[in-house]
Amino acid sequence: MRLRAFLPVLLALSSTAVACTTPAADDSAAGNDAITSNDGKILDFTFTGEVIASADTKARQAVVSQLAYTQGILTTNERGNGHVGHVVLTNVVETPSADGKKKITYTAQLPVAWPKTGNAVPTSYDLPIPKDITALEAFNAKYDGKCGANEYGQEEFWHDFNPKAAGCALDDADVTRSRAIVKPYAGETTGKYPEYDQMWKDGELDVVAVFGLISGTTDSDTDPGVEEYKRFVSGTQGLLTGGTVQANTKSASVLRDTTITGKVTISGQQRPVKIDVLLVSEMKSVGPDFDTRYSPLSEKADLIMYDGHAGLGKNVNALARKGIVTAGKYQLVLLNGCQTFAYIDTTMNDRRIEANGAATDPAGTKFMDVIGNALPGYTNNLTNMSMSLVRASIKSDVAPKSFNDLLNEMPQEHLVVVFGEEDNRFHP
């Protein structure tokens, strides 16, 4: 999450403040999610690949670690990004070798958000990526500065890898040279709506918003994350009839804790709204006290929002593992950190498959839709994006907004994407 120029002092310290780590992965197969974006064309990059991994590394984990380097290629050269954590793998073949490693060959289907303004859509695209993920330290040291330059440390060079950089020459022994066939993505949707009726099914709206610090680890009123936190609290209170604000007891991980309550008119009746807003330093390092507070909130939440550093994927994937998943409970989720479309793994989907059963919810999307950024985000959009979803939820009976309507309110530079809406039934 990057800082806007309206924070010149902080900009002098660092040009970026929200880090957009390699997506975590497991061996569960990702489904062909529906995807939509107003500012991006959704493309299908299909290619064959090969990766060398340790004998005990799961195949999907190895491939996702390798494909993290596509992010540097796509963001740097095209201002787009792939749905790396949800890549679909087929034809996976593992061949052990005598050195404690194994070769994995595969076919990948990678959904890519490609900006509508910019480079023309190609019919094929070259993706040279590291061949041996057991030797990434050596790969990074060899090519950092020649094929892109690391922004977050050499161990995170994948984030900035650019084989198209002037003077970059990759040795064949170091890379797998895949050529993707590029086609329109079959799952791209338009005109889909959040399941507003399900959000109000129990007669009330429950919202949980988690904000992260931006410029450091100390709670300060001058931190951009705190400024956005306070702006969100004030803004949401103003949306409610009789809106009240209650400051709750803090804890080691929850630096600020506020509950806003009030009512709105839905279907001619006054309905209660409860919005819990939590501030943390970084999600990846919260303790069990966060779970004590967040778990019961997440169990009832209709709208869950995260605004802050993606932590190169570590923060958003940490949040995905938190909370309670209630069977049959629809939730709209906003992941408002850098490049969350690429970073987020299949954990949230897997947990919903487990809760609802594979027969009912085979892709883990029936009761959840996710909104995320394909590109780096900006601090002063944290509250703006979250407020758009709150406003849409409380006005859903008089002026229901589709995902495309909501995306019109999102910043173009974030390249915002919705995924998981293929089974949505609501329509005004």
CATH number of domain containing 358: 3.40.50
**If you compute the radius of gyration of the chain from its CA atoms, what whole number of angstroms results?**
21
Nearest to 50 by CA among 179, 147, 182: 179
Measured distance CA(239)–CA(13) in Å, rounded: 36
Same domain, 179 and 45: yes
- For the CA atoms of 372, 375, 376, 380, the dihedral, rounded to the nearest 10 degrees, stands at -60
| DSSP H helical ranges for 301-395 | 314-320, 340-343, 347-356, 382-394
- The burial class, CB within 10 Å (0-12 / 13-18 / 19+), for 249 is exposed
Confidence at residue 26, expressed as pLDDT on a 0 to 100 scale? 40
At 411, the amino acid letter reads P
Same domain, 305 and 387: yes
Task: At 266, list the tokens.
Answer: 């839905």
% residues pLDDT > 70 (the chain): 93
Confidence at residue 2, expressed as pLDDT on a 0 to 100 scale? 64
Same domain, 174 and 207: no
Domain's final residue, options 134, 161, 184: 184
* 67 within some domain: yes
* 237 within some domain: yes
Task: At 324, list the tokens.
Answer: 């309670």
Measured distance CA(210)–CA(230) in Å, rounded: 12
Same domain, 252 and 207: yes
* 12 within some domain: no
- For the CA atoms of 175, 346, 75, 158, the dihedral, rounded to the nearest 10 degrees, stands at -40
* Owning domain of residue 367: 196-419
Domain's final residue, options 135, 158, 184: 184
Give 156's contacts (C-beta < 8 A, 6+ positions apart): 21, 150, 312
pLDDT band at residue 32 under the 50/70/90 scheme: low
- Half-sphere exposure in the Cβ direction for 13 (13 Å, CA): 10
Same domain, 373 and 279: yes
Q: Count up the domains in the chain and report the number.
A: 2
Same domain, 220 and 266: yes
Same domain, 43 and 146: yes
* 189 within some domain: no
Measured distance CA(292)–CA(279) in Å, rounded: 14
Nearest to 151 by CA among 72, 64, 65, 68: 72
- Half-sphere exposure in the Cβ direction for 25 (13 Å, CA): 27
Give the largest CA-CA distance in the chain: 72
- The burial class, CB within 10 Å (0-12 / 13-18 / 19+), for 233 is buried
Confidence at residue 33, expressed as pLDDT on a 0 to 100 scale? 78
Q: Residues 36-87: pLDDT tens digits?
A: 999 999 999 999 999 999 999 999 999 999 999 999 999 999 999 999 999 9
Measured distance CA(87)–CA(93) in Å, rounded: 16
* 180 within some domain: yes
Query: Could you tell me if 88 and 32 are in contact, meaning their C-beta atoms sit under 8 angstroms apart?
Result: yes
DSSP-based three-state secondary structure for 26:
coil
pLDDT band at residue 3 under the 50/70/90 scheme: low
What mean pLDDT do residues 412-421 have? 96
Same domain, 267 and 124: no
Nearest to 263 by CA among 280, 243, 249: 243
| DSSP H helical ranges for 357-428 | 382-394, 403-408
Same domain, 205 and 261: yes
pLDDT band at residue 23 under the 50/70/90 scheme: very low
Q: Residues 96-112: pLDDT tens digits?
A: 998 999 999 999 999 99
Give 273's contacts (C-beta < 8 A, 6+ positions apart): 204, 205, 207, 240, 260, 261, 262, 263, 264, 394
Domain's final residue, options 126, 157, 184: 184
Confidence at residue 95, expressed as pLDDT on a 0 to 100 scale? 97
Measured distance CA(279)–CA(407) in Å, rounded: 25
What mean pLDDT do residues 194-210 have? 97
At 208, the amino acid letter reads V
Nearest to 1 by CA among 295, 310, 289: 310
* 2 within some domain: no
Query: Could you tell me if 206 and 329 are in contact, meaning their C-beta atoms sit under 8 angstroms apart?
Result: no
Measured distance CA(158)–CA(146) in Å, rounded: 13
Give 297's contacts (C-beta < 8 A, 6+ positions apart): 206, 208, 276, 323
End-to-end CA distance of the chain: 35
pLDDT band at residue 20 under the 50/70/90 scheme: very low
What mean pLDDT do residues 183-201 have? 96
Same domain, 255 and 158: no
Helix (H) / strand (E) containing 78: helix 69-78
Same domain, 230 and 348: yes
Burial 95-130 (b: 16+ CB within 10 A, else e): eeeeeebbebebebbbbbbbbeeeeebeeebebbbb
* 16 within some domain: no
Give 321's contacts (C-beta < 8 A, 6+ positions apart): 347
* 336 within some domain: yes
Helix (H) / strand (E) containing 111: strand 101-115
**Distance from chain centroid for Cα 256:** 23
Task: At 101, list the tokens.
Answer: 């490693």
Q: What is the mean pLDDT of the chain?
A: 92
Nearest to 82 by CA among 117, 111, 125: 111
Judged against a pLDDT cut of 90, whether residue 28 lies above it is answered with no
At 57, the amino acid letter reads T
Same domain, 137 and 207: no
